[in-house]
Amino acid sequence: MSFLTDEQKALALEIASLLTPRNQTVAVAESTGGGLISAALLWVPGASKYYAGGGVTYTLNSRTALAGVSPDEYVNYQGTTPAMLLSLAEAMRSRLGAIWCVAESGLAGPTPGRSGTAPGRTTVAISGPDSSTEVFETGSADREANMIEFATFALRKFRDALVETGV
């Protein structure tokens, strides 16, 4: 039995096939995906050609310590915002010297967040030649299912950015 879904494996293979001939690298800063984004990217043989590294930046302290984000960004923290995630992606990309970074953070559940945000919501940021953010909601409080869906969504969004840029 695999810990990755078939879709995650297919996305990882496609991402590898796009990054490798371009000699591009990706870093990952993930939170509620719990390492599944990195696991998928590393599942592909030869991942060392494109995977620059990453971290599970689950706590605010880990975001400052691992990614180098300024603690000032988290004053009065009430939950993840697109701007905050893009800043995290840019910081991790810079720290690891990667061309791209995928960052993900949200609320897997089962309980609501600090600001009353319902579980099943994450924000994904892609930093690189084409930078973007998107909020994704599952409508579910199932923690495990959300973790899987969040990682899959982040991989889809990254694959789409690679296809769109063609860089």
The tens digit of pLDDT for each residue in 93-138 reads 999 999 999 999 999 999 988 778 899 999 999 999 999 999 999 9
In this prediction, residue 62 carries a pLDDT of 92
Confidence of residue 1 (pLDDT cuts 50, 70, 90): low
β-bridge pairing 100-107 and 26-30: parallel
3-class state of residue 3 by DSSP: coil
Q: Are 53 and 67 in contact (CB under 8 A)?
A: no
Q: Are 106 and 58 in contact (CB under 8 A)?
A: no
The answer to pTM > 0.85 is yes
Q: Are 31 and 104 in contact (CB under 8 A)?
A: yes
| pLDDT tens column, 5-37 | 999 999 999 999 999 999 999 999 999 999 999
> Is the bond preceding 71 in cis, omega lying within 30 degrees of 0?
no
φ, ψ for residue 108, nearest 5 deg:
-75, -25
Q: Which domains does the chain have, with CATH numbers?
A: 29-165 (3.90.950.20)
The rounded mean pLDDT for the chain is 94
Burial 39-64 (b: 16+ CB within 10 A, else e): bbbebbeebeebbbebbbbeeeeebb
